[in-house]
Amino acid sequence: MSNPEDIPSRLEGKNVARFVCCILGIGSLVAWNAMLTITDYYYQIFPKYHPSRVLTIVYQLFANVFIITLAFKEAKLNTRFRNIFGYSLYTAGTFCLLILDLASRGSGSVVAYVVLCLIVAVFGLADAVVQGAMVGDLSYMCPEFIQAFMGGLGIAGVLTSGLRLITKAIFDKSHDGLRKGALLFIGIATLIQLACIFLYTLVFAKLPIVKYYRAKAGKEGAKTVSADLAAAGLQDQAEQVQQMDESKIQKLTKKQLLRENIDLEINLFLIYVVTLSIFPGFLYENTGEHRLGDWYAPVLVAMYNGWDAIARFIPSIKGLAVESRKWITVCVVARFLLVPAFYFTAKYADQGWMLFLTSFLGLTNGYLTVCIFSTAPKGYNGPEANALGNLMCVFLLGGIFAGVCLGWLWLIGNDSF
């Protein structure tokens, strides 16, 4: 990754680029977060099918299969096409959710549930396409860009949770209130996806600072940037990148990158094993009845998302980021104490303690994620940073999938299993 000091002072657009990266981060997760946040609606129409758990497994299964394939082939893929295709899939998926609900009239039929699972599978594919491409692309740019993108992932959760609470308050007493709120929700998510396609296609590639980083990565042998260079008007550089002799490009292999960063990759995996074994399934099905009633689960989800988003911006403040790999490992291992903490809190404590634990889960998840993604690419050239970014996403999604599967263990001894 290039040092900020190496950037010519005449380059402009850094703040705009950070803003766009944040919006693109929101867009890469808002569809799935919308699904998670309206899970109370899906529990109403599909009460026997464990929607929060089943849909998450479907999503992660497809995301993991495709991210592994794409990470293996990343050096030969067109990053521009990959991102536009991914955001287009998100847009089509959210639009299909609207059509499905309107066509089925909110019925809980098996056919509607199967189609819902298929749409979620499309979201999983889109996640694999976009996450690896965006993280890989931003990994060879300045750290602020990857931090902004990761911050956008957190803001997506805050946005969806906030809107969910608002729509629940507005439609709570009306006929089909949950359904009306869910439809409004999905419609907003669709508009955000369209905005992402516009920003990535017409704005991001043309910013001077983004041109600089991509041209630099191209000179270092990153053929993935050629289409973006051409779209930015740098036709000569794009042609030079395409004509490079791959045998003369000096870069570490994926196996070498994997070996050099195995500690960070395992830590990233373990962060999401813990988080997804608790969130969202446990929060919806294992926290009992409380004074907040049917508001309890949405409030817990909102608390998690809020602190996760705040924590993702903390490492961008000088002196507050943990860069020591040893201390990152200590923090990651310590998070396993959250599993028994949630168990005993659900069994014996009141809702105040559960709200505190859920907030702490989100805080540590967001903070450690950004610290790892900011630390890993340092010292690598463009092609290496791009490859490493894709590999990191494999471990992130792998941890999410493992956590989701382990989340089913909470149902042992539960009559609803």
Q: Please check whether residue 74 is in contact with residue 388, taking contact to mean a CB–CB distance below 8 angstroms.
A: no
**What is the model's pLDDT at position 98?**
87
Q: Please check whether residue 241 is in contact with residue 229, taking contact to mean a CB–CB distance below 8 angstroms.
A: yes
Q: How far is CA 410 from the centre of its chain?
A: 24
Among candidate residues 148, 173, 204, 160, the one with its CA nearest the CA of residue 370:
148
**What's the token pair of residue 319?**
């002196």
pLDDT digits (tens, 9 = 90+) for 180-233: 777 887 888 899 999 999 999 999 999 999 999 999 999 888 888 999 999 988
**Which stretches in the chain have pLDDT values below 70?**
1-11, 106, 172, 175, 247, 280-294, 410-417
Q: Using a cut of 0.95, tell me whether the model's pTM lies above it.
A: no
**What is the model's pLDDT at position 417?**
46
Instruction: Return d(Cα 299, Cα 312) in angstroms, integer.
Output: 20
For 123-141, give one letter per residue: b (16+ CB within 10 A) or e: bbbbbbbbbbbbbbbbbbb
For CA atoms 87, 90, 96, 102, give the dihedral sign: negative
Angle subtended at Cα 398 by Cα 296 and Cα 412, rounded to the nearest 5 degrees: 50
**What is the model's pLDDT at position 280?**
67
Q: How many CA atoms lie within 13 A of 243 on its CB side?
A: 6
**What's the token pair of residue 356?**
């505190």
**DSSP label at 122?**
H
For CA atoms 156, 162, 165, 166, give the dihedral sign: negative
pLDDT digits (tens, 9 = 90+) for 260-269: 999 999 999 9
**What's the token pair of residue 245?**
């002799």
Q: Please check whether residue 7 is in contact with residue 141, taking contact to mean a CB–CB distance below 8 angstroms.
A: no
Among candidate residues 254, 269, 264, the one with its CA nearest the CA of residue 395:
269
Task: Give backbone dihedrals phi and psi of 379, rounded to 5 degrees, phi first.
Answer: 90, 0
Instruction: Return d(Cα 296, Cα 160) in angstroms, integer.
Output: 16
> Letter for the amino acid at 401?
F
Q: How many CA atoms lie within 13 A of 346 on its CB side?
A: 19
How many other CB atoms are found less than 10 A from the CB of residue 109?
11
> Letter for the amino acid at 132?
G
Instruction: Return d(Cα 139, Cα 273) in angstroms, integer.
Output: 24
Among candidate residues 165, 64, 170, the one with its CA nearest the CA of residue 124:
64
Q: To 10 degrees, the CA torsion angle through 117, 122, 128, 133? A: -160
Among candidate residues 80, 61, 25, the one with its CA nearest the CA of residue 309:
25
Cβ neighbours for 386, distance < 8 A, ≥ 6 positions apart: 74, 75, 79, 136, 137, 139, 140, 217, 222, 224
**DSSP label at 174?**
S
For CA atoms 189, 232, 127, 90, give the dihedral sign: positive
Instruction: Return d(Cα 208, Cα 403) in angstroms, integer.
Output: 41
Q: Please check whether residue 249 is in contact with residue 221, taking contact to mean a CB–CB distance below 8 angstroms.
A: yes
Among candidate residues 258, 385, 373, the one with its CA nearest the CA of residue 1:
385
- Alpha-carbon distances of 39 from 56, 182, 185, rounded to whole Å: 11, 9, 12
Instruction: Return d(Cα 18, Cα 204) in angstroms, integer.
Output: 10
